[in-house]
Amino acid sequence: MLRVGVIGATGYTGEELIKILLRHPRIKISYLSAKVEKPKEISEIFPYLKKKLLLLCDNFNIDRALELCDLFFLAVPHTVSIQITPILLENKKYVIDLSADYRLKDKSLYELWYETKHTDHQNLRRSVYGLSEIHRDKIKKTRLVANPGCYPTVAVLSIAPLLKYKICKIQYIYIDAKSGYSGAGRISDEQFYRDLKDNFKAYNVDSHRHLPEILEQILSLAERKINIVFTPHLLPIERGILETIYVNSNHKLKIRNSELIGLYREFYKDSPFVRIKEDNHFPQIKDVVLTNFCDIGIKISEDRKTIILISCIDNLLKGASGQAVQNMNIIFDFEETEALL
């Protein structure tokens, strides 16, 4: 049995990790920690865990963590992971970090967008970006996975096949993204009613921290710079992301829609969590919520100069904890779908 710890166990993604890991036959949850005033049974925090998981949740203690676990999921805010990861790796542990601390290979971008110094260059160089379908071979060999952000997961999975098959010379990509409010971590009911109930709004317009992450990933796949505009919106629902992505070509596309769908299916033929919709069918959030799937619909515009991609995930699963467990399954050669279907 692989002994696993969840750091940040009381947060949105920490809670999802616990739920998934409890279903996993090859692992044992051995350690839980969060920022707490005093140690508490996890079932006091989440009463539905009573008689399912008997474990204390306490402030992080490195000695106990090292003694009890082989692998850690870090479901904590950025800058917290960077303080813990070096010592876990020095002690030959595995780390799957859900925060942004090890995602951007260009540390100056991290420092610019996250407004803090990056203090662990050595491990930043070693980290593998954990977009499972794209980097499976590298994930298999690493001890440090930088689990992707939720918006970049949808965007990069949607765009990658176009780059691989060089479908067109891309001029611009516009990403119009909508997310449930759990994407920002736990918020109070008061905040929800003030900002979101019966509302829909854009935020961080062309200035969201996931923009450099999307750009860096697309650049590494395209091997050239592509202009991307990214506007996120908040929906008055708890979970789920839908992105409508417009990929502008500088010439008229000759390929038929059904052929393009065929190429997407070929690209993802060994990827159990990506589902490509049929011609003229498009995904909706309710089809992916509480699943680890990414659903993608594809349409070439009437003037044949734009590819419209409409894609959905559950931000807390394929966009965070589900993909994190998928990455653990890949590293340890478990079935990739274990505990996730």
- Residue 325 to residue 336: CA distance in whole angstroms: 9
Catalytic residue (one of 57, 150, 168, 294): 150
Binding flag, residue 55, ligand NAP (CB under 6 A): no
Binding flag, residue 149, ligand NAP (CB under 6 A): yes
The encoded tokens of residue 307 equal: 């590819």
Q: Based on CB atoms, which residue is closest to ligand NAP, 25 or 47?
A: 47
Q: Based on CB atoms, which residue is closest to ligand NAP, 289 or 316?
A: 316
Query: SS3 sequence, 74-117?
Result: ECCCCCCHHHHHHHHHHCCCEEEECCCCCCCCCHHHHHHHHCCC
Among 62, 185, 229, 259, interactor with ligand NAP by CB under 6 A: 185
- Residue 48 to residue 88: CA distance in whole angstroms: 31
Catalytic residue status for 69:
no
CB 186 to ligand NAP: min, Å: 4
- Residue 166 to residue 169: CA distance in whole angstroms: 7
Among 134, 150, 328, 339, interactor with ligand NAP by CB under 6 A: 150
Q: How far is CA 232 from CA 19, 86, 91, 100, 207, in A?
A: 28, 33, 39, 17, 9
Beta bridge partners of 247: 173, 307
Nearest to 337 by CA among 23, 99, 13: 23
Q: Based on CB atoms, which residue is closest to ligand NAP, 57 or 162?
A: 57
CB 195 to ligand NAP: min, Å: 16
Task: Point out which span in 7-15, 106-114, 214-222, 245-253 binds ligand NAP (CB under 6 A).
Answer: 7-15
Residue nearest to ligand NAP (CB): 11
Task: Point out which span in 182-190, 290-298, 305-313, 329-337 binds ligand NAP (CB under 6 A).
Answer: 182-190
Binding flag, residue 18, ligand NAP (CB under 6 A): no
| Binding residues among 71-110 for ligand NAP as defined by CB under 6 A | 75-78, 80, 98-99
Binding flag, residue 296, ligand NAP (CB under 6 A): no
What Rg, from alpha-carbon coordinates, does the chain have?
20
Query: DSSP states of 20-42 as a string?
Result: HHHT-TTEEEEEEE-S-SS-EEH
Q: Based on CB atoms, which residue is closest to ligand NAP, 185 or 262?
A: 185
Taking a C-beta distance cutoff of 8 angstroms, is the pair 123, 93 a contact?
no
Q: Which amino acid is at 235?
A: L
Q: Based on CB atoms, which residue is closest to ligand NAP, 60 or 230?
A: 60
Size of the residue set binding ligand NAP (CB under 6 A): 28
Query: DSSP states of 175-215 as a string?
Result: EEEEE-GGGG----HHHHHHHTTT--EE-STTT-THHHHHH
Summarize as ranges the residues that interact with ligand NAP (CB under 6 A). 8-14, 34-36, 60, 75-78, 80, 98-99, 149-150, 182-183, 185-186, 315-316, 319-320
Catalytically active residues are 150
